[in-house]
Amino acid sequence: MIRGLVNWLLGGTASMPGRIPESVIHQIRERVNLVELVGQQVKLRRTGRNWVGLCPFHSDGKPSFSVNPERGFFYCFGCHEGGDAISFLTKLKGMSYVEAVEALARTVGIEVTYEDGGDPAARARSKERRQVLSDLLREAHAWFRTRLTSPEGREGAEYLVSRGVNPAMTSAFQVGFCPAGDGLYQHFTRRGLPLNMAEELGLIGRSRSGGFRDRFSGRVTFPVLTMTEQVAGFSGRSLPGGHDPKYLNSPDSEVFKKGELLFGLVQARDAIKKQDQAILVEGQLDVVSLHQAGITRAVAGLGTALTEHQAMLVKRLTHRVCLLYDGDEAGRKATWRTMSLLMNQGLYGTVVRLPDKEDPDSMARKEGGPELLVKLIENARPFLEHALEVLSGGAGRSLHGRVEAARQGMEFASQIKSALDRQVFTEQLADRLGLEPAALKAEAAVSASSGAAVSTVDAMQEIPRKEIDLLELAVQFPEVVPRICRDESFDLLENDAVRRFLLALFDQFEEEGRYDLQAAMNGVEHRGLRDICGKVLMDDRRLPPADAERGVREVMSSFKRSRLERKMEELSRKIRVTESSGEGEKVLELLREQEEVGRELAALAASRRN
């Protein structure tokens, strides 16, 4: 169930055909050598059965990162990241689940199949179709690249020079040029490529006279890459005095979805991981200029408002975002919208407010600009502070203005996930607007009932010792999980996260006939719980299975014992009360009940001795 959900969440875009069967994923996990895979990124040293090294997911002073090749699992005791080969790639490279599976499958020579109950012939045709589309994009890309360095591309090359783009950046971002006319169309025709499909991809289009023309004609081309570094489409920048719009994107198609891609993410992903922050800007040239100025963690959307899907792409790499949008009104509006969206996705960050007529590109190209930008980014305002400033700054003194700002503020507050942050924000806003906090809270209650404020309190709930014992047994010997979950005392477990985790494992077993710790752990936010699982998975020592059975029996019976003891006390109390009220019949009944509980306790004690 969880695997399906993860599959759907991370990879199930409309462009991805169906679901990958468990058996294929299992096969891939079996064959991948996790030490080798991790070793490409991290220097690992052997200790016992495990390998350790510096964690690639946080800046690690001592080797906190362990790999257990036998179990195919990694875990970091510093930042609590953990998982298998697939999640290693999704976390490190920002790939989707499906992309990571495909990438691993290629390295171990397994062909990935998809299931969706559809007709296999149709599936094969669709796969073939996607292949042709990809080939066309690659062909166009190569053609654009060559034009830029040929005499036909002089205009484009000169434009890049005028914008201060250096050759290293042209090559890093694989910039190309499409000369005015129908050169690409001619090229496709000569090679006998399917023109209707090139038209679907928006590479060529019908001219008024009914013939074909190049859609990116007279534009500098920036390829937009997927996380597996395939060209998904293009963004074409017109030259000064050229056609509108300034940036023309490939139209949405089977292989290109504007809302699901970020420009520059492939080039920026290492820096984003290393510095644990992504910088979001508006335009392609902003990205290129920032990278050239040494700020290499910048990415941009594709001309539309940031989507949840794009936020998720960033979230795979970092939880911290800096918004560096244009200084004009449109940029400010976009900043506000994006801030809300990111917070709603659990991402936090800061905002840089640029002077009115500036954008990141213009700033980066100024004398001393890069240094100034670095400073601005370092001193950027946290989201909540920025929001307070905008709201109180725009409110003015009139009551109407202040009330309106309060209303906007509470709508914004409903996106804040942490209850504490929400409270502090509300109080500060009330203070700045000169309104009663209680009034704002009342307004917030209205917003929250329609909004999606979720608290994550249980991520901190402490795990009782007995439940830790149980978890350790369950992780080491998943086969005891059904015994635990079916036990009449299961509901006596106090920690919700532990109960959910065990039930997730149980569900997998019921539905798929096997356990997938990785998938079950994906759903866990509780750090203590993650640590316990990580420790067990990295532990060399193994209990004999018989001991595991006995361990579970003991823990579960101790839950039962506690429950019976509580019941015993409760009955004693009731008996005292009933006695004093003189209801003899009732007392007798309670005494009988107590005797029964006593027998159960004795039986429990006897079974322990055996």
Burial of 373 (0-12, 13-18, 19+ CB in 10 A): buried
Give the nearest distance from C-beta 313 to Zn ion in angstroms.
Answer: 21
Among 223, 385, 332, 352, smallest CA distance to 277 is for 352
For Zn ion, the closer CB: 81 or 282: 81
Write out the DSSP string of 288-327.
HHHHHTT-TTEEE-SSS---HHHHHHHHTT-SEEEE---S
Residue 56 or 331: the one with the smaller Cβ distance to Zn ion is: 56
User: Minimum distance from CB of 274 to Zn ion (Å)?
Assistant: 13
- Report the nearest approach of Zn ion to the CB of residue 268 (Å): 20
In angstroms, the CA 250 to CA 257 distance is 9
Give, as ranges, the residues between 439 and 498 that touch Zn ion (CB under 5 A): none
Residue closer to Zn ion (CB basis): 75 or 559:
75
Q: Is residue 548 within 8 Å of 473, Cβ to Cβ?
A: yes
- Enter the tokens of residue 259: 């809302």
Return the HEC string of 452-495.
Answer: CCCCCHHHCCCCCHHHHHHHHHHHHCHHHHHHHHHCCCHHHCCC
Give me the least distance between CB of 606 and Zn ion, in Å please.
Answer: 48
Q: Using the minimum distance from each CB to Zn ion, give the nearer residue, 74 or 234.
A: 74
Nearer to Zn ion, 58 or 567 (CB): 58
As measured in angstroms, the least distance from the Cβ of 91 to Zn ion is 10
Residue closer to Zn ion, measured from CB, 271 or 298: 271
Q: Select 58 or 381, whichever has its Cβ closest to Zn ion.
A: 58
Beta-bridged to residue 247, according to DSSP, are: 237
User: Binding residues for Zn ion, how many (CB under 5 A)?
Assistant: 6
Burial class (CB in 10 A: 0-12, 13-18, 19+), 268: buried
| Euclidean distance between CA atoms 386 and 429, whole angstroms | 11
CB of 54 to Zn ion, least distance (A): 9
Is 76 a binder of Zn ion (CB under 5 A)? yes
Q: Which of 79, 312, 403, 601 binds Zn ion (CB under 5 A)?
A: 79
Tokens of 433: 């607007």
Of residues 138 and 527, the one with the C-beta less far from Zn ion? 527
The Cα 379–Cα 366 span in angstroms is: 19
Of 22, 102, 100, nearest in space to 515 by CA: 22
Asked if 74 interacts with Zn ion (CB under 5 A), we say: no
CB atoms within 10 A of CB 275: 16
Subset of 30-69 contacting Zn ion (CB under 5 A): 55, 57-58
Q: Which stretch binds Zn ion (CB under 5 A): 73-81, 379-387, 466-474, 528-536?
A: 73-81
Give the shortest CB-504-to-Zn ion separation in angstroms. Answer: 24
| Least distance between Zn ion and beta carbon 42 (Å) | 10
Question: What are the two backbone dihedrals, phi and then psi, of residue 463, each rounded to the nearest 5 degrees?
Answer: -105, 120
Residue with the two structure tokens 């299975």: 545
Please, what is the minimum distance in Å from the beta carbon of residue 30 to Zn ion? 26
Residue appearing with tokens 């390295």:
107
- Does position 597 bind Zn ion by CB under 5 A? no
Please, which residue, 55 or 140, has the CB nearer to Zn ion? Answer: 55
Our finding on whether 384 is near Zn ion (CB under 5 A) is no
Whether the CB-CB separation of 73 and 82 falls below 8 Å is answered with yes
Beta carbon of residue 343, minimum distance to Zn ion (angstroms, whole number): 24
Q: Compute how many other C-beta atoms are within 10 angstroms of the C-beta atom of residue 491.
A: 9
Query: Residue 583: left (phi > 0), alpha (psi -120 to 50), or beta?
Result: beta
Q: To the nearest whole angstrom, how small is the minimum distance from the Cβ of residue 295 to Zn ion?
A: 24
Element (H, E) at 232: strand 231-238
CA distance 567 to 569: 5
Residues 11-30 that bind Zn ion (CB under 5 A): none
Sign of the alpha-carbon dihedral angle for 483, 487, 491, 493: negative
Tell me if 78 contacts Zn ion by CB under 5 A: yes
Taking the least distance from each CB to Zn ion, the nearer of 276 and 328 is 276
Residue 307, CB-side half-sphere exposure with 13 Å CA sphere: 13
Stretch that binds Zn ion, among 72-80, 126-134, 394-402, 556-564 (CB under 5 A): 72-80
| Residue 57 or 425 with smaller CB distance to Zn ion | 57
* Piece in contact with Zn ion (CB under 5 A), picked from 74-82, 201-209, 472-480, 528-536: 74-82
Interaction with Zn ion in 322-381: which residues (CB under 5 A)?
Answer: none
User: Which residues contact Zn ion (rule: CB under 5 A)?
Assistant: 55, 57-58, 76, 78-79
